[in-house]
């Protein structure tokens, strides 16, 4: 095996990317260079000004590889690709690969409009990234209300190709697409004027139905843009970027200004920030803008980063002017971006603490309830009724201590009370019906909202029930939670008629988690009960 010194001597003096390898051929770091030999050698000289983390990295290097390219711009693009592919531990990388979300107008004769996380070089038009899936859904929802769409799937749709019984021409269709494109770019001022003019013209001709159509389009367009805050009176296009350092992360906020308005705010967290702050921000911006569909004309940053303008224009094929203001409106916008970055850091760090609390809570439940394994999936059941009428049952699911609403289930109870409502029988019915679905994931813990009565009735009902070939009561722990003193009842080992009472320490993560699960089951049951009760009054 060649020594590091020999490898460096044999490196070419051209542009390219270098890869540092550790033991087991693990890629530690990817970098780009205008001149490979000189750049790599700089890590190993005695005068090298390296951070403590980089010194540790250099000590771990066992081998070096490289890829040559023709220009420094190509090296930048290759560096970004290799970092995204390999995620080396000593590179600054975006923590979440799912950060980018776009709206895509597909390159085809009658283009579909799609929500996507992938940006391909396929000739389609991309808009974004958006700050969240909620932002994408809201935008698509308003567009559907403005124009006659025909839905294809949950995530994409096309315009209805029929108009008054006749097929819309491709020209008419593309006219609508041009309007949608302007809306997605944030350029709505002129479109609003056109729609208002059409509405008044239709009204003056007494075409009231057509005027109402334009009025509705204006309403939906205004709803789509009502959150956009006017900042400039001209068509300024800029991104305002700031950051907040906290522990081992850098939290970044971007205010997107298009046509003089703040149209969105995006946040990101950079993992493994081992370099200087300017290197962290540089790495983020290069990764971010290689995936950006709508590059701004200006990029406002809080610190000066050498050569950033040239590097960004190389990776984006756009002309972005990078500016660090000392005063004026852009300086004030930087302060606003910093407040957003700081708030994002605060909330994120709080969620990290919450995640640690959830781990502690689940471990405590395993110990206190004498479970065989940590309850990753917890199902909780509740009954809601008034004197036995419109009775319903709810099932909520928490995975790793967090609610998974996609797996919630509701039950319209078939049991009919005779003289007085029988909550025990209703709970038994719900559990019996739940376990008629072996295709549903098996819970690690079942919690019943109630006391020993509910637990006894359910155990009796399930005593002869099997799941995946084994008796339910032998494989799935079932407990009940009595609200008065937050007492948990669990069957004594070897019996189904006597129960042990467990009290979780108050004001602990486990105590709060169980309360939250029970309250969520109650909320879900009450919501369904009210809906069912309300519908009954609508019936003739």
State the chain's mean pLDDT as an integer.
Answer: 80
4-91 and 238-346 have identical folds: no
SS3 283: helix
Other Cβ atoms closer than 10 A to 201:
13
Residues 6+ apart with CB under 8 A from 480: 447, 448, 449, 450, 451, 452, 454, 455, 488, 489
Q: Vertex 344, ends 341 and 347: CA angle to 5°?
A: 150
Query: In the beta sheet, which residues pair with residue 33?
Result: 16
Tell me: the pLDDT tens digits for 136-176? 777 777 777 777 665 444 444 544 433 434 466 778 788 88
Give domain limits for the chain.
4-91, 102-226, 238-346, 377-538
Check whether 116 has a pLDDT greater than 50: yes
The length of the chain, given as a count of residues:
540
Exposed/middle/buried for 365, CB within 10 Å: 0-12, 13-18, 19+? buried
**CA-to-CA distance for 255 and 337, rounded, in angstroms?**
6
Check whether 187 has a pLDDT greater than 80: no
Strand ranges of the sheet holding 125-127, from the earlier edge strand across to the other edge: 125-127, 102-105, 113-116, 156-159, 149-151
Q: What torsion, rounded to 10 degrees, do the Cα atoms 324, 325, 329, 333 define?
A: 40
Right CATH for 238-346 from 3.30.2130.10, 3.30.420.10, 3.40.1120.10, 2.60.40.10: 3.30.420.10
Beta strand spans in 310-450 (E): 321-323, 377-386, 389-399, 402-403, 409-412, 445-449
Q: What is the pLDDT of residue 284?
A: 86
**CA-to-CA distance for 390 and 386, rounded, in angstroms?**
7
282, containing H or E segment: helix 277-290
Q: Are strands 27-33 and 156-159 parallel, antiparallel or unpaired?
A: unpaired
Tell me: the pLDDT tens digits for 448-490? 998 888 999 999 888 888 776 778 888 899 999 987 678 999 9
Tell me: the pLDDT tens digits for 66-101? 998 888 777 887 887 788 778 888 887 665 444 567
CATH fold label, 4-91:
GIY-YIG endonuclease (3.40.1440)
CA separation, residue 47 to residues 10, 41, 43 (Å): 22, 11, 9
Candidates 170, 37, 192, 46; CA nearest to 109 is 170
CB-based burial, 25-34: b 16+ in 10 Å, e otherwise: eebbbbbbbe
**CA-to-CA distance for 64 and 470, rounded, in angstroms?**
55
Q: Which CATH architecture has domain 377-538?
A: 2-Layer Sandwich (3.30)
Q: What is the pLDDT of residue 302?
A: 92
Structural contact between residues 299 and 238, judged by C-beta atoms closer than 8 angstroms:
yes
In this predicted structure, which of 186-190, 228-232, 312-316 has the lowest mean pLDDT? 228-232
Q: How many CA atoms lie within 13 A of 418 on its CB side?
A: 1
């Amino acid at each position: 095996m060649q020594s590091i010194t020999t490898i460096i001597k044999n490196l070419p003096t051209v542009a390219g990317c270098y890869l540092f390898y550790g033991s087991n051929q693990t890629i530690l770091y990817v970098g780009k260079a205008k001149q490979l030999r000189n750049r790599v050698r700089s890590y190993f000289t005695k005068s090298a000004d390296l951070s403590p983390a980089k010194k540790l990295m250099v000590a771990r290097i066992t081998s070096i590889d490289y890829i040559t390219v023709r220009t420094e711009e190509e090296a930048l693009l290759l560096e970004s690709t290799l970092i995204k592919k390999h995620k080396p531990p000593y590179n600054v990388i975006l923590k979440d690969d799912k950060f980018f979300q776009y709206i895509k107008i597909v390159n085809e004769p009658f283009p579909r409009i799609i929500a996507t996380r992938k940006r391909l070089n396929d000739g389609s038009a991309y808009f974004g990234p958006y700050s969240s899936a909620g932002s994408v859904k809201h935008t698509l929802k308003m567009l559907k209300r403005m124009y006659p769409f025909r839905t294809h799937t949950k995530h994409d749709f096309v315009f209805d190709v029929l108009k008054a019984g006749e097929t819309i021409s491709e020209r008419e269709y593309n006219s609508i697409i041009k309007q949608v494109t302007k809306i997605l770019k944030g350029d709505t001022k002129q479109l609003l004027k056109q729609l208002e003019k059409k509405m008044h013209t239709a009204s003056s001709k007494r075409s009231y139905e057509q005027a109402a159509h334009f009025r509705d389009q204006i309403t939906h367009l205004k709803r789509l843009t009502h959150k956009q805050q006017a900042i400039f009176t001209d068509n300024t296009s800029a991104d305002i970027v700031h950051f907040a350092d906290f522990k081992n992360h850098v939290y970044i906020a971007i205010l997107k200004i298009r046509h003089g308005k703040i149209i969105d705010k995006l946040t990101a967290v950079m993992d493994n920030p081992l370099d200087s702050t300017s290197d962290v921000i540089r790495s983020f911006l290069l990764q971010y803008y290689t995936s950006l569909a709508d590059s701004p004309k200006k990029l406002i940053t809080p610190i000066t980063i050498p050569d950033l303008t040239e590097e960004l224009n190389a990776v984006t094929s756009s002309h972005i002017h990078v500016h660090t203001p000392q005063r004026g409106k852009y300086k004030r916008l930087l302060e606003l971006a910093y407040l957003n970055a700081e708030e994002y850091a605060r909330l994120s760090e709080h969620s990290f603490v919450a995640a640690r609390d959830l781990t502690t809570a689940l471990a405590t439940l395993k110990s206190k309830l004498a479970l065989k394994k940590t309850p990753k999936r917890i199902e909780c059941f509740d009954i809601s009724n008034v004197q036995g009428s419109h009775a319903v049952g709810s099932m909520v699911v928490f995975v790793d201590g967090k609610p998974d609403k996609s797996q919630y289930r509701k039950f319209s109870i078939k049991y009919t009370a005779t003289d007085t409502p029988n909550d025990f029988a209703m709970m038994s019915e719900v559990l019996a019906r739940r376990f008629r679905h072996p295709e549903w994931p098996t819970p690690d813990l079942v919690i019943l909202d109630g006391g020993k009565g509910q637990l006894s009735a359910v155990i009796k009902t399930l005593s002869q029930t099997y799941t995946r070939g084994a008796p339910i009561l032998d494989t799935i722990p079932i407990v009940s939670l009595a609200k008065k003193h937050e007492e948990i009842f669990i069957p004594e080992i070897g019996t189904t008629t006597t129960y042990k009472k467990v009290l979780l320490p108050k004001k602990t993560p486990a105590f709060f988690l169980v309360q939250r699960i029970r309250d969520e089951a109650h909320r879900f049951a009450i919501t369904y009960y009210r809906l069912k009760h309300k519908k009954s009054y609508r019936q003739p």
